[in-house]
Structure 1
Amino acid sequence: MLTQHTSTCGKSTGTSTGARPGRPSCSLTQRHLQRGWFSRTPLHCPHRILSSSQAGCRLCSGKKRQYSASVRASSAAGAADLPAPRENLGDRIGAFRNAFWKFLRPHTIRGTILGSCAVTARVLLECSEYIDWGLAPRAALGVLALLCGNGYIVGINQIYDVDIDTINKPFLPVAAGELRPALAWVLVVGLAAGGLALTAANFGRTITLLYSLGLFLGTVYSVPPFRLKRFAVAAFLIIATVRGFLLNFGVFTAVRAALGAPFVWSPAIIFITCFVTVFATVIAITKDLPDMEGDLKYKIDTFATRLGTKNLARLGTALLVANYVGAVVTALRMPHAFRVPLMVGAHAVLALNIILETRRLESQQHSQLAIRQYYQAIWRLFYIEYCLLPFL
């Protein structure tokens, strides 16, 4: 088509037999088309300036459709040949930061920070005579070590779940291609090594062993040939142990040891350890509610695939309500250890809240959006419990 047009609008110098003498040619050349000029600027013709909607001149108006098609095709080819714009360093750093934050699973990070800070605050209130603010940097290193362990556990799970996550959680950075698997491996190995080094250097043998146990459980949860997440009971036991027992008991033991206070069981710490263990069990069994499609495809055995969405949501709600009732009974039976009005009132309100969330889930026919909102509501209640701990 380009040749056909050129012969119509050629110069009178003999480049075309069909050109009128003295009439200059259009400045349309193969070189211009390949550069993609016409995708960005009006079409220039010596007879007049042509907009993209006027692709032709008085000499070539009869070729208008053929000419426009030629320009579009050539412009597309030229644009494809242009190099992609380079990202500057700031953009690349920003993209990595966002991907890394998603890789850490922010809702679990918030739970770890709140849990460790709440338990620490409770110990400080009970052992105020031992407080030494010079230990604050050491406490910060302890929280950092916990975050490293948290990042390792959720990160290794994403590496081995990448195929399932392309269906269940395509927004996660490894599944979405925002983090290459090789880089994800570098991150999880660095997080595990860094967390273990911080713990060993600052918190002694007992805490280091507890920390190592947490890393081990997180590994066998996700990594073949163990991959215990395939089995519903084993999966919830691991999550309940790490999130419920190891976090609370480990932080409690580490803080008292750092303060130099003798080890004495605290009713509040016993309560929160038991309460959060049950709560973590609920999180463990309901976390797969939004993921049934991928779990069924890859034959992952979960309570969601066994019981179905409706039955599992009701089971999770029943366990949480029982947990809240247990908190009320504990306060009434141990008025010397807890602030009864706060303990009873707060947990009654929270129990009502999860019941209402369940009713909303059922009223929305267990849609995918409603399921995610229900699961997020469970995590909000989890955060609230830790916020209450220093004041109970």
Structure 2
Amino acid sequence: MELSLSPSSIRIADISPHRGTFSRYGRFPINHTSITFSHFSLKCSKNYSLPGWYSLRSCSTTGPQRHHRPLTVSASSQLGAAGSDPVLNKVYEFKDAVWRFLRPHTIRGTALGSTSLVARALMENPNLIRWSLLFKAFSGLLALLCGNGYIVGINQIYDIGIDKVNKPYLPIAAGDLSVQSAWFLVSLFAVTGLLTVGINFGPFITSLYCLGLFLGTIYSVPPFRMKRFPVVAFLIIATVRGFLLNFGVYYATRAALGLTFEWSFPVAFITSFVTLFALVIAITKDLPDVEGDRKFQISTLATKLGVRNISFLGSGLLLLNYVGALLAAIFMPQAFRRNLMIPAHTVLALSLIFQAWLLEKSNYTQEAISGFYRFIWNLFYAEYIMFPFL
């Protein structure tokens, strides 16, 4: 992409499509009330049609083109020296591509989930905390992030055509990361994760880790490609992100503390809660992708039942989750802190209802669907943040 302003000019090598912004190396606002120019032209080699983007062609010679919403453009952090160091720029571009390749919202979920479960186990056994456990905790987090990177990466490698329609901002689909580089990264993630787990956590946790990688592989890779079958795909996602993550992390933490595994009511609660939540994520993740899934004949519940029905289904399942949390707090006061668990889950449930109402009111526009899906992930994060204190 090249952005030029005359008589002065600014060059931007490329863009990364995040909703409503152009982001790459840093952000600087272009305020139409404070700049004047005689000509504005935008040349872009890529066609993005994401909600919230501006399509700029030209403007009046008497002043700047005005918009009802602010426009934020991102370029190099040293704007005046953009392009002066091509090696450094390539490093920045590769780093940005790798970060998008890792799908940051999934990284946040994995990191929050593992940290929350470790914190809970430590709070239950504060007398067993030792500084020597810190290295093992970080090695476990590294292994989980590597497994996460492998699973989301292998999916992108085999979904390039679909992503060019549904998610053109992903690095392979956008041409910012080669397939060869992607293969190198997923191989590195898999090997690093397996070695880290095998060295630090023993055969049982290593077997659970291998099961997670296997399920993530058959989800995306032909000839299995289980994502073609909605029910199987949902079960795989719920198993990996729900049961395996929660059970495995808690088991490994207790083992590191020298304790045998045993279920506690709070851990059983978060495992079942997040497993159902992961199922909802698996269902609703297809909502923004209906166009591409139909084009490539990918069968999902969203393509079969429609966006409206799936959004109601996902919201209903989440509300069941919150009702279950309220009942657990009411009938097991010895296991949970009622004064936090009841009001917190009530607020989250009401927020979900409000977001579902906003989606209905918007008539299910692409922008509203994407916002609804992001909100579901925020609810997911919120549950893990609260869990150590419930």
Please name the residue that 2:128 is paired with: 130
Query: How many residues are aligned here?
Result: 309
Of 338, 344, 347 in structure 2, the residue corresponding to residue 349 of structure 1 is 347
Please name the residue that 1:168 is paired with: 166
- What is the CA deviation profile of residues 291-336 of structure 1, one whole-angstrom value per residue up to 9, with x for unaligned ones? 0011011111111011101111011000001110000001111100
Percent identity over the alignment? Answer: 59
Cα distance in 2 for partners of 1:174, 1:219 equals: 18
1:318 maps to amino acid: G
Please name the residue that 2:205 is paired with: 207
Q: Is the 8 A contact 1:289 1:371 kept in 2?
A: yes
Of 165, 181, 184 in structure 2, the residue corresponding to residue 183 of structure 1 is 181
Q: 1:325-336 to 2 correspondence within 5 Å?
A: 325-336=323-334
Structure 1 position 262, deviation (Å): 2.4
Structure 1 position 86, deviation (Å): 8.4
Please name the residue that 1:3 is paired with: none
User: Tell me, what secondary structure is at the counterpart of 2:182?
Assistant: helix
Cα distance in 2 for partners of 1:317, 1:88 equals: 48
Cα distance in 2 for partners of 1:236, 1:167 equals: 22
Cα distance in 2 for partners of 1:269, 1:384 equals: 16
Please name the residue that 1:54 is paired with: none
Structure 1 position 87, deviation (Å): 5.7
Structure 1 position 88, deviation (Å): 2.0
Cα distance in 2 for partners of 1:249, 1:263 equals: 10
Q: 1:108-119 to 2 correspondence within 5 Å?
A: 108-119=106-117
Of 358, 361, 364 in structure 2, the residue corresponding to residue 360 of structure 1 is 358
Structure 1 position 369, deviation (Å): 0.3
Q: 1:27-46 to 2 correspondence within 5 Å?
A: none
Q: Is the 8 A contact 1:123 1:255 kept in 2?
A: yes
2:281 maps to amino acid: I
Give the TM-score, by structure 2 length: 0.78
Cα distance in 2 for partners of 1:324, 1:310 equals: 21
Give the TM-score, by structure 1 length: 0.78
Q: State which structure, 1 or 2, has the greater radius of gyration over its C-alpha atoms.
A: 1
1:232 maps to amino acid: P
Please name the residue that 2:313 is paired with: 315
State the 4+ residue runs in structure 1 displaced beyond 6 angstroms.
none
Cα distance in 2 for partners of 1:124, 1:133 equals: 12
Please name the residue that 1:89 is paired with: 87
2:152 maps to amino acid: V
- What is the CA deviation profile of residues 125-164 of structure 1, one whole-angstrom value per residue up to 9, with x for unaligned ones? 1111211121101110100000000000000000000000
Cα distance in 1 for partners of 2:94, 2:112 equals: 25
Q: Is the 8 A contact 1:220 1:226 kept in 2?
A: yes
Please name the residue that 1:106 is paired with: 104
**Aligned Cα root-mean-square deviation (Å):** 1.2
User: Tell me, what secondary structure is at the counterpart of 2:132?
Assistant: helix
User: Tell me, what secondary structure is at the counterpart of 1:98?
Assistant: helix
Q: Is the 8 A contact 1:112 1:147 kept in 2?
A: yes
Name the structure with the higher helix share: 1
